[in-house]
């Protein structure tokens, strides 16, 4: 009798003592099997590949004051670290809705939380942009609390196929949902020099925006490809050969950020979310928003203060809340985080 059972697949082999290619990092990509190894990586102040370390968890929980039986929303689910801590506080009778546009990470996180005991009776993931918070309210009713972590997840940064990384070459994509819209490489072929310069300033406060935009458009017009992350990074390095390496690195980071914001319409999405937010909250409902650069923080601050002056919010954060020195020491990716909060009147 023929055996049709699939043969077990051996894990990928790699040269040397430690895997360097993302898809070969079998321990980090299967953290449930290698918990001790993962903890050692975290103790060194690094984020394991394929994982994400949630930022300002204690500060966020202190702001939201979640209690059992409440209904809330994690507007940017990601790896689910914030959601997990909120779910622990909601039983019995509570519900947590969550939104994310990433078609690859959303099911992974849903399965991960289900394995920890948070299934369809308490956790309600939805594949949608958080700008559509009004659709969540149609389903769930007004919300007792909302969290939005506006940072890009480490899983996206670490995977070179997503095009977010400056360390490993990959396609210049930068889409939060790779199945929708156009890649950053395709976007560059459609933009004018003046508009690119504007985006680099508006989205990232890039001081060398004019020089970088001119060189990128010159290369593209002359048939030089800029379709990978290293091709873009090397182009920026060529432009800034007169400054120190640390300044070049910061400009590269800002330019990638500016393109990512543009192709995902991140500011438009955030503005829509902030506008709809008061109607989504119950009286006394709380919102916490974690941002990572000045363009985001300005929008959050302006919206919160505007609604506060109108009497729609009864209180807003008087000052920024930043991660502790201890947290930044253990997780350098927390360094630029800025937390603001508001309470519905």
CA–CA separation, 269 and 266 (whole Å):
5
Q: How far is CA 81 from CA 88, 181, 237, in A?
A: 11, 28, 36
pLDDT of residue 47: 47
The residue from 263, 283, 308 where one domain ends is 263
Q: What is the pLDDT of residue 17?
A: 53
Given a contact cutoff of 8 angstroms between Cβ atoms, the answer to whether 106 and 127 are in contact is: yes
Reduced to 3 states (helix: H, G, I; strand: E, B; else coil), residue 34 is coil
pLDDT at 26 over 50: no
Give the Cα separation of 33 and 98 in Å (integer): 26
Tens digit of each residue's pLDDT (9 = 90 or more) over 84-93? 999 999 999 9
Q: Are residues 253 and 272 in the same domain?
A: no
56-77 average pLDDT score: 96
Q: What is the pLDDT of residues 211-259, one digit of tens each?
A: 999 999 999 999 999 999 999 999 999 999 999 999 999 999 999 999 9
**Whether residue 280 sits in one domain with residue 235:** no
Domain region containing 139: 57-154+267-344
Assess whether 337 and 206 both reside in one domain.
Answer: no
Torsion angle of C-alpha atoms 292, 293, 295, 297, degrees rounded to 10: 50
Q: Where are the beta strands (DSSP E) in 38-91?
A: 71-74
Q: How far apart are CA 151 and CA 337, in angstroms?
A: 8
Percentage of the chain modeled with pLDDT above 90:
72
Q: Is residue 337 domain-shared with residue 278, that is, in the same domain? A: yes
> Do 74 and 149 share a domain, yes or no?
yes
Phi/psi of residue 200, nearest 5 degrees: -65, -30
State residue 220's pLDDT score. 96
Q: How many CA atoms lie within 13 A of 198 on its CB side?
A: 6
CATH number of the CATH domain containing 239: 1.10.150.170
Are residue 186 and residue 251 in the same domain, yes or no?
yes
Q: What is the DSSP letter of 11?
A: P
From CA 201, how far away is CA 208, in angstroms rounded? 9
Mean pLDDT, residues 4-30 taken together:
53
Q: What percent of the chain has pLDDT over 70?
A: 83
Count of domains forming the chain? 2
24 against 178, higher pLDDT: 178
Q: 36 versus 91: which is more confidently predicted?
A: 91
pTM of the model: 0.82
């Amino acid at each position: 009798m023929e055996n049709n059972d699939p043969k077990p697949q051996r894990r990928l082999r790699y040269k040397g003592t430690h895997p360097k290619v993302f898809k070969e990092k079998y321990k980090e990509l299967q953290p449930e099997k290698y918990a001790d190894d993962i903890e050692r990586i975290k103790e060194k102040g690094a984020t394991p590949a394929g994982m994400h370390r949630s930022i300002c968890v204690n500060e966020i929980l202190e702001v939201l004051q979640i209690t059992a039986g409440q209904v809330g929303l994690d507007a940017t689910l990601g790896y689910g670290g914030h959601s997990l801590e909120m779910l622990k506080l909601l039983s019995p009778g509570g519900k947590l809705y969550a939104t994310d546009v990433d078609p690859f990470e959303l099911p992974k996180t849903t399965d991960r939380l289900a394995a920890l005991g948070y299934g369809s009776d308490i956790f309600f993931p939805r594949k949608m942009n958080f700008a559509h918070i009004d659709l969540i309210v149609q389903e769930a009713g007004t919300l007792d609390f909302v969290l939005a972590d506006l940072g890009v997840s480490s899983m996206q940064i670490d995977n070179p196929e997503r095009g977010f990384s400056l360390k490993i070459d990959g396609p210049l994509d930068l889409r939060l949902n790779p199945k929708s819209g156009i890649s950053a490489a395709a976007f560059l072929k459609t933009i004018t020099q003046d508009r690119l310069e504007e985006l680099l300033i508006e989205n990232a406060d890039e001081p060398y925006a004019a020089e970088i935009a001119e060189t990128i458009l010159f290369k593209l017009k002359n048939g030089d490809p800029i379709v990978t992350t290293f091709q873009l990074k090397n182009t920026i390095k060529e432009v800034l050969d007169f400054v120190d390496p640390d300044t070049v690195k910061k400009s590269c980071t800002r330019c990638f950020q500016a393109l990512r914001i543009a192709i995902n319409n991140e500011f438009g999405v955030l503005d829509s979310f902030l506008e709809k937010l008061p109607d989504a909250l119950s009286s006394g409902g709380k919102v916490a928003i974690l941002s990572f650069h000045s363009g985001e923080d300005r929008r959050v601050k302006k919206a919160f203060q505007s609604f506060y002056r109108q009497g729609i919010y009864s209180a807003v954060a008087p000052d920024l809340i930043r991660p502790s020195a201890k947290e930044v020491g253990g997780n350098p990716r927390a360094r630029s985080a800025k937390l603001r909060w508001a309470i519905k009147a």
